[in-house]
Amino acid sequence: MSRYRLNGPLHFSLFGIFLFCLFFSCWQVHSQQDTSRIVTYTDKIILKANIDTRTDVLLYRNQNEDERLELTPNSRYRLFLSLDYEFVGVSVGLVPKFMGGNVDENLKGESSFTDYQFRFFLGKWVQGLTYNKTSGYYVRNTADFAPGWIEGTHPYIQFNSLTNSQYGMSTSYVLNPNFSYRNIVYQNEWQKISSGSLIPTLYYDYNTFAFDELGIRSKERFFNLRLSPRYFYTLVLHENWFISGNVSPSLGVRFSKDESTENGITEIERNTYFIRSVSSGINLGYSSEKVIFGMNLTLNSDWYNEDSNSSVKTDQFYGVLYLGYRFEPPQFVKKAFRPFTAN
């Protein structure tokens, strides 16, 4: 596959955003926690369902040849079911058939998606683990490669065996004890007074990108290591309503090994790349003692230069609707967790 160059419009200083986030929240770092600001529901079981419109778009560009390739899976909605209790949480994501998981399969092919997430809370530390896999992509800009192609009539160019999988971990630390990260991300706390915090996060993940079609077998394995000075702020609009926003620039490094076989000849290429990313989002939510719901919008973009003429970019822009319910756990659940909690 040819390598391409990125000409994205994101000309800004990640370091400048980092300094802004640090300056804006440094006055909160040494404050002591005020229990009237945050109501915790970690002793309750929280069941939640999310529906989102996230679709990854892999963008390859070649500046010299003025070519552009856009790869995306054929999925419109994703469903996540999650459960949180005490210091642990788990989520499962999939694309169910009843939600029209694949649209126009005869034109775009079939895609599949699975996602498993685990999270652990240790005071102000948050540890995340995730595994996700997406299979089946089509070329969104097929018209650029197939003269006479008609949208809605002719099938898109498809790569049904193209698979992207990730084993990821993240370690976060909430600097401001009077800010509830759980309120906006996991909904097992309730932020009562407006507050914000810098949340430094270290991401480390192992990925495989595999392709086996047209007599070509290729597998790229890469390990990413990124550091992000994320900043979150929650504005309490009403006793039960809040709006929150966040910005998360990050810098890191990618160690890559690309192995490809064509006509019985295998080539191995090893590279190290400098990677950049920025993410932002806004969330409008409702919280009460039992019921939680809300919606949020997220924009994420990451990119890296492979050489002076080629780069790779991944874009994500999606909305999320969520609905959850808090309730008392059964006695056997309380008993099982009692050795690990103060309850």
pLDDT at 10 over 80: no
14-340 CATH: 2.40.128
| Mean per-residue pLDDT of the chain | 84
Which pLDDT belongs to residue 19? 47
Among the listed ranges 54-63, 77-86, 175-184, 247-256, which one has the minimum average pLDDT value?
54-63
Q: What number is the average pLDDT over the span 306-326?
A: 85
Which pLDDT belongs to residue 53? 84
Split at pLDDT 50, 70, 90, the class of 34 is low
55-93 pLDDT per residue, tens: 778 888 777 767 788 999 987 788 999 999 988 999 999
C-alpha to C-alpha distance for 8 and 32, rounded to whole angstroms? 42
CA angle 253, 167, 309 (to 5 degrees): 35
Strands (E), 140-194: 158-173, 189-191
- Please, is 288 exposed, middle or buried when counting C-beta atoms within 10 Å of its C-beta (0-12, 13-18, 19+)? exposed
Instruction: Name every residue whose Cβ is closer than 8 Å to that of residue 275 and which is 6 or more positions away in sequence.
Output: 224, 226, 251, 252, 253, 254, 302, 303, 304
Which pLDDT belongs to residue 12? 42
Which pLDDT belongs to residue 265? 86
DSSP letter at 104 equals S
113-130 pLDDT per residue, tens: 899 999 999 889 999 999
Which pLDDT belongs to residue 32? 47
Q: Which of 189, 125, 188, 135 is nearest to 158 (CA)?
A: 135
Cβ neighbours around 25 below 10 Å, total: 21
C-alpha to C-alpha distance for 88 and 326, rounded to whole angstroms? 15
Q: Which residues of 192-223 are buried (b: 16+ CB within 10 A; e: fewer)?
A: bebbbbbbbbebebebebbbeeeeeebebebe
Which pLDDT belongs to residue 266? 86
Among the listed ranges 13-22, 148-157, 303-312, which one has the minimum average pLDDT value?
13-22
Residues making up the chain, counted from first to last: 343
Spatial contact of 292 and 323, defined as CB atoms under 8 Å apart: yes
- Domain assignments of the chain as residue spans, ordered by start: 14-340
pLDDT at 202 over 70: yes
Q: Tell me the pairing of strands 265-287 and 216-236.
A: unpaired
C-alpha to C-alpha distance for 174 and 231, rounded to whole angstroms? 10
Which pLDDT belongs to residue 173? 96
Phi (first) and psi of residue 202, to 5 degrees: -105, 125
C-alpha distances (whole Å) from 318 to each of 69, 76, 96, 259, 286 are 21, 10, 18, 33, 20
Which pLDDT belongs to residue 69? 87
Split at pLDDT 50, 70, 90, the class of 193 is very high
Among the listed ranges 20-29, 216-225, 306-315, 324-333, which one has the minimum average pLDDT value?
20-29
Q: What number is the average pLDDT over the span 281-293?
A: 93
For residue 14, the surrounding DSSP H or E stretch is helix 14-25
Which pLDDT belongs to residue 312? 83
